[in-house]
Structure 1
Amino acid sequence: MKLTRRLFLGATTAMALASAAHAQDKGTIYYMVPTLLDEFQTTSVDAIEKFMAEVGYEVVTLNADNKTDLQQSQMADTILLDPEAIVIAPVDFNALVPAIDEARAAGVPVMIFDRQITETELDFTSVAGTIEIGEVAAGEIKRLLTEKNGSVTGTILQVLGDPGDPYTLDIQKGFEDMMAGEDVEIITHPAMQWEASNAGTIVADELLATPDIDLIFVHAAHLSVAAVASLEAAGKAPGDVMLVSSNGAPVGLDLIRQGWQQVEVEQPLFAQAAALAMFADKVVAGEEIEAGTYDVLGLESTVTIEDWGPNIKIPGAAITPENVDDPTFWGNLQAPDDPITPVE
């Protein structure tokens, strides 16, 4: 039984909710996006709205502008609207736990998109296989080093994102586990707060300290831009130092086309959004979600039942000069036309 209550909305939230005048047959789902300042987040809004519409739900998106307190306030207001479900990409991984618990106590199921929360029970979580992204990157880097040096040998500069973010730590784990035992030196530094300028400084400093770097592996495409700027400043030409990145943003694909970057390992944004739509009916109805393997936009994805609830992990794919224009990669900003079929 859901609780239905009246509320007075704050001005910001009320304006954002005004677009929910007419829900589709199955009702309205609210998406709490952390920010709209990068292409991953803006594309996630379009994708979630598109795929949810295909299975009968209208989506209203609330932007938190990277403010934890604003997202908490939006959650409180939205719970009182008694929506069919709430999808959250949290600004702060743990700060929203009380609001999530309140929503579920009020009968509003909560799904998590992309930014995983493990400290409380949830109705469904859709995330990238971040450890697997690191493993894919390692496989590609082994190939590149072999092509250059005749075997998996050389010096790698790894530039993490912020060390407090599980996304980058998982990629690091997958990458380093796969590289263990190889004849490589891996130099690792974090770009604090995911700041591109920090990545640029790291690359510039290491080019002076370690001039024989074979390959740079950065954990996000926007960090690649700063890496390339530092390479150019050091007099390097495209290909002199190989570059690999992860997340699949448009800028990474452009750097591949320009010859600066050899591989981009995609974070499967479209599939992550599609998975939410595939399981939405079960989540809204409170039905059991079974563990197993599911096809999500052609990607073999795995649902496990974790302490925090059903969790689908979706693998990424390697983008290279040979397939960089494939429209299925989110960095080409063209959502796939594959029909979404709800899981029965």
Structure 2
Amino acid sequence: MKKTKRTLLTILMMALVVSIFAGCAKNDAAPGGTTTDTATGKDLVLGFAQIGMESGWRGAETDSIKETFAPGSGFELKFSDGQQKQENQIKAIRTFIAQKVDAIGLAPIVESGWETVLQEAKDAGIPVFLLDRGITAGNEDLYTSFIGSDFIAEGENVAKWLINEVGTGKTANIVELEGTVGASAANDRKKGFDDAIKAEPGFKITKSQTAEFTLAKGKEVMESFLKADKTIDVVYAHNDDMALGAIQAIEEAGLKPGTDILVLSIDGVKGAFEAIKEGKLNVTQECNPLLGPQLKQAILDVKAGKALDKWIKSDEDIYFGQKAIDALPDRKY
């Protein structure tokens, strides 16, 4: 009888040890937090509402999200293309809420108009992460974190490059190709640039118009600028696609982009680096679109109960001349 009791005790102890080690092995397999719902053992579900495909930069961001949350990543991705319409994004978010996803990612096409739907997500207990564009100030309690760039600093950096290139005390007739009306990237890139050139009274923005972050509109608007004014010294585009469109318009007008007219832009897509190598684009301020890994880690940290910064900044640089040429082979987008 005693031998039977000792045998049962031994079996129970061995089962306990196996259970402990199994738990440790499960935790070790997911550094930074588990990628499964601990209650069900299923993959976490991310609903992502993308703006659309207005540029190469946006395409690179979409690729980063799809690659990071691909099958086998520990996540199931529900992806929605907003096709440049806020109402489509809002509809997608409501669908995600109804599907009871574990987290929502949103690249908001404009800053305003999100309060109602994001409150619905908050009431449902679903954390929302903003990617690359923000929403109207004062609504910080409606989302967990913003992951992306400092758009004001981007505009400032491009303006500082221009001042250094042209020289202080000089003059510059500048035209501006703005991004989507109401988008935080467009608003802030304009503010950063405008504020920085105030120190130079000779630097004047004579024309400014939206080109919607697209190459086609960039070319169209630049053509209209050139028809109205042949004395343009600089074109400042809020993104590379518009700048590349402007380059086409400048060339078709019989001028040399990068020489007759300085071309400045933001994003750092591969096409911009190639244009710098060809001498057609003068500078591009990087805006990193590869935000998938940062979003994944942020979701895992929230699920693990960690506190996150309200703004998770991406690492970026400014490129021109030989520095851009040297970096060209390593561009991922």
Shared fold by TM > 0.5?
A: yes
User: Cα–Cα, structure 1 residues 125 and 234, in superposed 2: closer, same or farther, change >3 Å?
Assistant: same
Q: Secondary structure at the match of 2:324?
A: coil
Match of 1:38 among 55, 73, 82: 55
| Alignment of structure 1 residues 130-279 onto 2, 5 Å | 130-146=151-167, 152-182=170-200, 183-194=202-213, 196=215, 198-238=217-257, 239-270=259-290, 272-279=291-298
Report SS of the residue matched to 2:57. helix
Displacement of 1:67 in angstroms is: 3.7
Contact 1:133–1:171 (8 Å) recurs in 2: yes
Looking at structure 2, the residues matched to 78 and 317 of structure 1 have their Cα atoms a distance apart, in angstroms, of: 35
Task: For 1:328 and 1:109, locate their aligned partners in 2 and report how far apart those are by CA, in whole Å.
Answer: 37
- Deviation at residue 103 of structure 1 after TM alignment: 1.9
| Distance in 2 separating the partners of 1:177 and 1:79 | 40
Task: Mark the CA change 1:286 to 1:88 in structure 2 (over 3 Å): closer, same or farther.
Answer: farther
Q: Is the CA contact (8 Å cut-off) linking 1:129 and 1:316 kept in structure 2?
A: no
**Residue 332 of structure 2 aligns to which amino acid in structure 1?**
L
Larger displacement relative to structure 2 (208-217 or 104-113) = 208-217
Distance 1:56 1:175, change over 3 A: same
Q: Which has the higher helix share?
A: 2
CA distance in 2: counterparts of 1:328 and 1:80, whole angstroms: 44
Q: Secondary structure at the match of 2:323?
A: coil
After superposition, what is the alpha-carbon deviation per residue over 1:41-97, rounded to whole angstroms, capped at 9, x for unaligned?
A: 332122134445798544332223334343333222322332221111134544443
Instruction: State the partner residue of 1:68.
Output: 86
Note the alpha carbon deviations across 1:89-132, whole angstroms, 9 max, x for none: 13454444322222221221111111212335211111211001
Is the 8 Å Cα contact of residues 114 and 135 (structure 2) preserved in structure 1?
Answer: no
Aligned match of 1:121: 142
Matched, 1:99 2:117: yes
Q: CA RMSD in A?
A: 3.1
**How far 1:229 moved relative to its partner?**
2.4
Residue type at the aligned position of 1:82: K
Task: Quote the offset at 1:232 in angstroms.
Answer: 1.6
Q: Secondary structure at the match of 1:133?
A: helix
TM-score calculated relative to the size of structure 2: 0.74
SS in 2 for 1:102: helix
**Which structure: larger Rg?**
2
Give the Cα–Cα distance (whole angstroms) in 2 for the partners of residues 263 and 145 of structure 1.
13
- Offset from partner CA, 1:211-231 (integer Å, 9 cap, x none): 333221111212123312221
Q: Could you say which residue in structure 2 is the equivalent of 1:317?
A: 317
SS at match of 2:94: helix
Unaligned runs of 5+ in 1: 1-22, 290-302, 304-309, 335-344
3-state SS of 1:253 partner: helix
Verify: 1:280 aligned to 2:299, yes or no.
Answer: yes
Secondary structure in structure 2 of the residue aligned to 1:164:
coil
1:82 to 2:100 alignment: yes
CA distance in 2, matches of 1:328, 1:273: 22
Using the TM superposition, give the Cα deviation of residue 261 of structure 1 relative to its aligned residue in structure 2, in angstroms. Answer: 0.6
* Change in 2 beyond 3 A, CA 1:251/1:25: same
How far did residue 243 of structure 1 move?
0.8
Residues 194-203 or 77-86, more deviating: 194-203
Greater alpha carbon shift after TM alignment, 76-85 vs 195-204: 195-204
Q: Secondary structure at the match of 1:333?
A: coil
* Cα pair 1:143 1:152 within 8 Å, conserved: no
**Is 1:27 the counterpart of 2:44 in the alignment?**
yes
Equivalent residue letter for 2:311: N
CA-to-aligned-CA distance 1:146-205 (integer Å, 9 cap, x gap): 3xxx86543222222244323112111111221222132332311254455554354344
* Cα distance in 2, alignment partners of residues 316 and 151 from structure 1: 29
Contact persistence 2:106–2:128 (CA under 8 A): yes
Task: Tell me, in whole angstroms, the C-alpha distance in 1 between the residues paired with 2:66 and 2:98.
Answer: 22
